[in-house]
């Protein structure tokens, strides 16, 4: 029998003498290229038939654990941390190897709302970990947005109590809301205007419509109507007014968003009466995006990259709008940090925030 830190007692027992004893922790099996996962769970009573399996994973001994005062097993600690963080719309997995996943319980896509200062404060405590998505990431139904983890097999209960206290203080200051949550995306009916004489005349096939529709529908909304206009400012203004009269939840205008003299869409959006939040977005691809509001309804001018790039400023802003956020200039300005989406970004998966 050996004594661990803070009074933990670990009794080492040869595997062949372990029949009838209770495992102190999960045991993992790894078969390269085929399987990695839990072979036996903490609390499993070892049977005679288990002995060959234990030997196959290199376990000549198992450990019987007796906790000292003020100590928690990794699974219990991870479970308590996750329970403290749990909010409406979230579900928790069973503790497994000192980990608990925090997932969406919603049946619609949602926006992750994460308070980074609380995440940092929890991780400063040491021996425990909280990993999350970045705030404003899209979480699909059943998707994971956070996980609690305990590093050692046994952790002081005071560490977990500190997490519970941090979260309780945050809730007290924020009307009961926790530092990890979800904002469900509403289903918008969106009016779309595609400008450009080459598409309006039928000389080339419209590529904006399918691309925008695919993005919108992946988030649970729909393009209710798509209209077409030549590169004529007055016609564009007229079509924007028409779409506004249909009481759509949002308007998107595509084409003519560059600084070429014959690109008239930004001026037409302003002439239609929109309040322009910003024309130009510090994100690549997608820098020529226009964000505004027309009678309180979001209106966006979309750059050409939406047709062919997998993730642009449109993908970044649309979920926030669907979640009810009102976009201001500060939201646009801060998109530059982390807003360079290169080929390497996509190869490593950093930019893949939504389908």
**32 and 124 assigned to the same domain:** no
Question: What total number of domains does the chain contain?
Answer: 3
Q: Of 184, 201, 224, which residue constitutes the final position of a domain?
A: 184
Q: Are residues 130 and 246 in the same domain?
A: no
Share of the chain above pLDDT 90, in %: 68
Question: Within this chain, do residues 149 and 195 fall inside the same structural domain, yes or no?
Answer: no
Structural domain containing residue 296:
189-348
CATH number at residue 260: 3.40.980.10
> What does the pLDDT look like over 289-316, one tens digit per residue?
999 999 999 999 999 999 999 999 999 9
- In SS3 terms, the chain reads as CEECHHHCEEEEEEHHHCCCCECCCCEEEEECCCEEEEEECCCCECCHHHHHHHHHCCCCEEEEEECCCCEEEHHHHHHHHHHHHCCCCEEECCCECCEEEEEECCCCCEEEEECHHHHHHHHHCCCEEEEECCCCCEECCCCEEEEEEECCCEEEHHHHHHHHHHHHHHHHHCCCCCCEEEEECCCCEEEEEEECHHHHCCCCCCCHHHHHHHHHHHCCCEEEEEEEECCCHHHHHHHHHHHHHCCCCEEEEECCCCCCCCCCHHHHHHHCCCEEEEECCCCECCCCCEEEEECCEEEEEECHHHHCCCCCHHHHHHHHHHCCCCCCHHHHHHHHCCCECCHHHHHHCCCCCCC
Same domain, yes or no: 202 and 291: yes
CATH code where residue 166 lies: 3.90.1170.30
Residues 61 and 106 in one domain: no
Is 161 found in the same domain as 82?
Answer: yes
Same domain, 177 and 254: no
354: in domain: no
Evaluate whether residue 232 is within a structural domain: yes
- pTM for the full model? 0.83
Final residue before a domain boundary, out of 34, 66, 98 = 66
Question: 293 and 343, same structural domain?
Answer: yes
For residues 331 and 276, state if they share a domain. Answer: yes
Stretches in the chain below the pLDDT threshold 50 = 1-6, 347-351, 353-355
Residues 309 and 342 in one domain: yes
Residues 176 and 225 in one domain: no
Last residue of a domain, one of 168, 184, 200: 184
In a domain, 28, yes or no: yes
In a domain, 353, yes or no: no
168/208 same-domain check: no
Q: In this predicted structure, what is the pLDDT of residue 9?
A: 55
CATH code of the domain in which 17 resides: 3.90.105
What's the pLDDT at 262? Answer: 55
């Amino acid at each position: 029998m050996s004594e661990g830190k803070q009074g933990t007692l670990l009794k080492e027992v040869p595997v062949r003498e372990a029949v009838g004893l209770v495992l102190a922790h999960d045991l993992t099996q790894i078969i390269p290229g085929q399987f990695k996962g839990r072979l036996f769970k903490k609390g499993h009573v070892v049977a005679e038939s288990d002995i060959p399996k234990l030997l196959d994973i290199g376990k000549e001994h198992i450990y019987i654990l007796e906790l000292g005062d003020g100590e928690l097993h990794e699974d219990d600690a991870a479970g308590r941390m996750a329970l403290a963080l749990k909010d409406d719309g979230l579900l928790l997995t069973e503790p497994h190897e000192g980990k608990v996943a925090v997932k969406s319980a919603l049946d619609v896509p949602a926006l992750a709302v994460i308070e980074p200062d609380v995440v940092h404060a929890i991780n400063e405590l040491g021996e425990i970990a909280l990993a999350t998505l970045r705030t404003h990431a899209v979480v699909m139904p059943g998707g994971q947005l956070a996980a609690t983890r305990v590093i050692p097999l046994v952790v002081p209960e005071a560490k977990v109590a500190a997490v519970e206290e941090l979260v309780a203080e945050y809730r007290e200051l924020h009307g009961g809301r926790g530092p990890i949550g979800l904002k469900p995306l509403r289903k918008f009916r969106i009016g779309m205007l595609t400008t450009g004489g080459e598409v309006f005349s039928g000389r080339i096939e419209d590529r904006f419509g399918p691309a925008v529709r695919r993005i919108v529908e992946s988030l649970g909304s729909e393009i209710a109507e798509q209209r077409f206009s030549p590169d004529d400012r007055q016609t564009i203004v007229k079509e924007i007014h028409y779409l506004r009269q249909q009481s759509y939840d949002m308007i998107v205008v595509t084409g003519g968003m560059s600084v070429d003299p014959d690109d008239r869409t930004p001026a037409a959006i302003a002439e239609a009466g929109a309040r322009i939040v910003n024309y130009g977005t510090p994100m690549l691809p997608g820098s020529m995006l226009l964000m505004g509001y027309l009678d309180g309804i979001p209106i966006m001018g979309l750059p050409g990259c939406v047709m062919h790039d997998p993730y642009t400023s449109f993908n970044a802003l649309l979920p926030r709008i669907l979640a009810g956020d009102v976009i201001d200039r500060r939201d646009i300005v801060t998109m530059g940090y982390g807003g360079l989406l290169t080929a390497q970004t996509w190869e490593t998966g950093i930019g893949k925030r939504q389908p």
